A and B are shown apart, each in its own frame.
Chain A
């Protein structure tokens, strides 16, 4: 290269001596620190390869001496979050469900925690927002509660479930299958339906509903109350309102009287810890229909599923 190197006249700079099709390269020296910076990056790369995951292998990259991994970072972050939440969980555990409402910060935390647990354990039946499914699973967002809608009642329902065959403390009632078991004939059921439609203000009184009123008096008041307003203590659904778990049309009511569903809600005390149940109760209570605790302590529960209501 030295034999061809020359001074470029317009710039006065030496060329490096190469020439490609008349194109030459001027030798404008790089600053030396630039070169050293380049060497430093090479040295750093060597250090990095030793310290951090670098070479791709069959199953994963080399681990590196620091044993660092982004998954490890995530694990540490999750652990830190758990540690941060531990005192809140402890405080919730130490607070009875009826006292929770008086502690807004704790209640808020419980609702948040309950919201997360709800998505895992409850949405399968009650739907993402607790809206339920008409004709199958009750809505948790409305103001009609079969077993009570205050915090304590909801907690009891969650803890012990409804009609759990394996559990003594479960909430239990049973609507007879008036049609299927031959207690009432088709005409009587028809009259009963008329009466229920009248007390829920869906129909005008008629001869049929007058006959139905007598049948109601004889067969239904024990659970549904004399005026059909329901009896919470027994989980007897209210028949006078606009909310119907299995539908409020003539056909739907007739079907319910003929063969009630007597739906089952699992108990959760064998699946979830007490804190999670408490948080779930707070969340369900917050969905819009939550009631204040009644003055005398009732064995109330949220909407389970007896028929109607």
Chain B
């Protein structure tokens, strides 16, 4: 793309200041879709921590909570323990494949609609319009002298930026603690240092990235546009200026005077005026285009006004560009979407999701891990029997105390007791109540007759005694002296 400025000044500067972007207000289908997505995503972000979810007296009642101190992750009826982190990994993989799917289908739709940078930039641009007025007023104010009015407007605008940024930073920490409690603690100065630090950092990043950096983040800082380039193909939807229809550009007056001499583009520059990243879509696909489709809305409006068909700027895949340029008709969008590549992505995405749902339904909520104490391997008891000691870890992953029984099998004549019991009261089974939502360590003493192999495998099992008989077992070794 030829750059006339560079021609004029061959020795250009090595550093360029950001050019101001003052997107004009626009209305249309895509703008309304953006409004809707913005409302939904912001509502989810700000509101989720405040949803309550009753889990009984032994677990927090916050629907979504990342409890770092106690190492639990709650999401509605699902509770994830640290050893189940693969569910989080699975979610991340799904998110990744979801992005592949969306990108190869509709290009940079994530960038255009759902990316937090886009959503908050959009929000801040609405603040700009609210305080400073629309595009022209904004430009006038930016270029004008520092009058009292400008000072007041700037103060008010930055104040609003800061309020939004603070609210954004404050909402983040609510995911990591009980929201109402943390809010009270935050304002009474009782919250942890890290809470204030996190809010401070996120307020600053939101203020700077949303209020000032804006499209610079997308163009210079974000790796995703570069990765996306590798993921798109000639069937991915792009926001396209149909130059074969629009060129050569010419005003309405020219078109009336010389019919047929000019294309549909009336060179009104509306597509440039509304662009939130300040590019000209008519120069072709480029890294600055986040495919937010606001130029489509703007152009459609103008086309309606001048009585020409809509879609001079439209979502269009590269394949369709070639077809339409040659005078053909593009294939329907649905057919484009049903191509094998997308089906494969969708299949993998669904498979991972279903597999996770299946394992979530199947996972045991009562786990047993047994460790044989090795110092000493065995203890000679005064009546001639041999005792081995075991450390049991009983993991109760339910938010209620559990009554469980511990039994052994494969060790004839075994007697069991725990620290709280005694040999006199030893029997074939031990019953106990374990705390809700925690790992209980139990030392289990197992005595067995001295006659038997020096090393004997046997099984220690646990199962619920409160209606849910599911449980877990572990095979472990019983040691005896080599020579009796």
Contacts and interface: CB of A to CB of B under 8 A. Distances in A.
Residue of B7, B11, B220, B376 with most chain A CB atoms under a 10 A cut-off: B376
B376 A129 contact: yes
Contacts of B213: 33
A139 interface: yes
A32 B376 contact: no
B216 interface: yes
Contacts of A11: 1
Nearest to B376: A131
A128 interface: yes
Contacts of B373: 129
A129 B10 CA distance: 82
Interface string A137-170: 0010111100000000000000000000000000
Interface string A1-15: 010011100011110
Residue of A141, A142, A286 with most chain B CB atoms under a 10 A cut-off: A141
Interface stretch (B196-204, B337-345, B380-388): B380-388
A202 to B, nearest CB: 10
B376 A5 contact: no
Nearest to A6: B10
B421 to A, nearest CB: 11
Interface stretch (B13-21, B118-126, B171-179): B13-21
A288 B387 contact: yes
B288 to A, nearest CB: 13
Contact of B13 (A13, A29, A128, A131): A29
B145 interface: no
A128 B375 CA distance: 6
Interface residues of B, number: 36
B3 interface: yes
B382 A242 contact: yes
B194 interface: no
A141 B379 contact: yes
B6 interface: yes
Nearest to B389: A288
Given A2-B11, A30-B15, A129-B373, A142 B379 contact: yes
Q: Is the interface of B mostly helix, strand, loop or mixed?
A: loop
Chain A contact residues (Cβ within 8 angstroms of B): what range? 35 or more
Contacts of B16: 29-32
A242 B380 contact: yes
A144 B10 contact: no
A142 B17 CA distance: 81
Interface in A121-138: 127-131
A288 B446 CA distance: 10
Contacts of A289: 379
Interface string B1-37: 1110011011111111110000000000000000000
B422 interface: yes
A139 B216 contact: no
B375 A7 contact: no
Q: Which 9 A-B residue pairs are closest in the complex by CB-CB distance?
A: A129-B375, A131-B376, A241-B382, A29-B16, A12-B2, A242-B384, A144-B382, A128-B375, A32-B15
Interface of B: 1-3, 6-7, 9-18, 213, 216, 220, 373-376, 379-384, 387, 389, 419, 422-423, 443, 445, 450
10 contacts: A11-B1, A27-B14, A29-B12, A29-B16, A31-B216, A139-B380, A141-B379, A141-B389, A241-B382, A288-B445
Given A130-B376, A139-B376, A288-B389, 20 more contacts: A5-B11, A30-B15, A31-B16, A31-B17, A31-B220, A34-B220, A35-B15, A129-B373, A129-B374, A141-B379, A141-B389, A142-B387, A242-B381, A242-B382, A242-B383, A242-B384, A243-B380, A286-B419, A288-B387, A289-B379
